[in-house]
Amino acid sequence: MAVSTIRSTSPQAPGDVIVEVGATSVEDVARRAARARAAQAEWAAGTALGRADALSAAAQAVFAAREELAGLVCREVGKPLSEATVEVARTIAILRFYAQQALAMDGETYPGNGPAGTLVLARGRPYGLATLVTPWNFPVMIPTWKAAPALAYGNAVLLKPAPAATGCALRLGELIAPALPDGLLQVIPGGPDTGQAALEAGDLISFTGSTEVGRMIVTEAHATGIPVQAEMGGLNASIVLPDADPAGAASVIAAAAMGYAGQKCTATSRVIVVGENADFTDALVAAVRALPVGDPQGLQTVVGPVISEAARTAVLAAGGRSRDEGGSVLTGGGTSDPGWYVEPIVVGGLDAGSWAAQNEVFGPFCVLLSARSVDDAIAAANGTPYGLCTSVFTSDLDQVLALPGRLRTGMVRINAATTGVDFHTPFGGFGESGHGDRELGTGARRFYTQEQTVTIQPRLPS
């Protein structure tokens, strides 16, 4: 569907227009892609040290504007200022990390089968143009964790941000682009037509967003032979074993489920309690009720608005559907205006096959499930198409060692929130949560480069 104008507004003050810009046309996408490719040839032919210096300069530019950028993240996507500040700090750290990774080992050597002295090298070479499609919920960090390795390893970048985060993406581009060759990084705001043109223009694709869109992108990329990675939905579980500290676990889980209004792919959506544990249930409800809800600019705010009116309607509908299935809303569900605010909802009394336990709501909503045994808890945790992250709360060392191998998720966290990203480690999920190579860490080189084997023999005899 053609979109002529992108208009981004603040979820806490819907009348506040952050940015209004023309959508990038299909023709303009082609022009920008050509410009990026022209810049990439020189970029890839340059030195790794030069790329490292450029990314270091980009990190310094973001650092100098860190307070302004955090304020923009808070204003445009409703992220509490405390979290927005952390996101910007992580963005700077990611740029610095990949500045160093540009100088890391870029291949291996093997014994040669030719004359004595023959060298065989396998080295990573850039693909050319990386198309990055990014979501609104981490409007500067996710674009950076894709763009930084793409650039570090010699690619150009075509960045298509979610419309609701257009202002953040454009400002990030303004900060980073001056450190790079002219035209190497292109930010292209727009709707579906812009996104489709960007996908067709790239040599490889990295996507973060909904499962439905991710599936389509993966299918199209495979049909054309383009490398693709897709980070999609999450329906993350926190398993609470009988020996876990009820108050401590409840505090961590409440923040993981409801912080930033639950709008993280790693947010806790299901809390699976092993055995009868009324103390934990009471503690979780109390911990959720205690979370400060309000203006994301408030320094104490943990739960701000959801991103849109449609998102708030979906959260409330999930609560209503849960009641229809026989569940009970243990807390939350109230709304306030102006802005798209909804009090965090905890639902109890449902089983693992219920709608709320099988579908990602992507808001301040979680379902409390009971399991008779650890085996039942694992079956419930694994019993969805998703597989991003699972947390386990216990002090039993045997369970700590045994459970990760039984859980079908890309990440397992013991006595820690499902939320949180260690940018120096692999990030990604199983099943419907992820496809292709992992993001982040040193392994990002595998996705953003293609291996080339070079054989070098001594000079031919005269």
- By the 8 A CB rule, do 447 and 426 touch? no
| Strand bridging mode 156-161 / 129-134 | parallel
- By the 8 A CB rule, do 40 and 154 touch? yes
Return the H-helix or E-strand segment holding 93. Answer: helix 81-101
- By the 8 A CB rule, do 231 and 208 touch? yes
Which DSSP letter does residue 105 get? -
Does the annotation mark 265 as catalytic? yes
The whole-angstrom distance between residue 373's C-alpha and the CA centroid of its chain comes to: 32
- Cβ-in-10-Å burial (0-12, 13-18, 19+) of 131 comes to buried
CA distance 290 to 131: 42
What do you get for the CA distance between the two ends of the chain, in Å?
A: 66
| Strand bridging mode 386-387 / 430-431 | antiparallel
Q: Is the peptide bond before 338 cis (omega within 30 degrees of 0)?
A: yes
Number of C-beta neighbours around residue 446 at 10 A: 17
Does the annotation mark 74 as catalytic? no
CA distance 18 to 383: 41
Alpha helices in 204-354 (DSSP H): 211-224, 246-258, 278-290, 309-324
Residue of 76, 83, 87, 231 with catalytic role: 231
Residue of 74, 265, 366, 389 with catalytic role: 265
The whole-angstrom distance between residue 50's C-alpha and the CA centroid of its chain comes to: 28
Exposed e or buried b for every residue in 251-283, given b needs 16+ CB within 10 A?
A: bbbbbbbbbbbbbbbbbbbbbbbbeebeebbeb
Q: Which residues contact 80 (CB under 8 A, 6 or more apart)?
A: 74, 259, 260, 296, 298, 301, 302, 303, 304
CA distance 275 to 374: 9
Long-range contacts of 277-282 (CB under 8 A, 24+ apart): 277/240, 277/242, 277/246, 279/246, 280/240, 280/244, 280/246, 280/249, 280/250, 281/330, 281/348, 281/368, 282/246
Q: Which residues are catalytic?
A: 231, 265
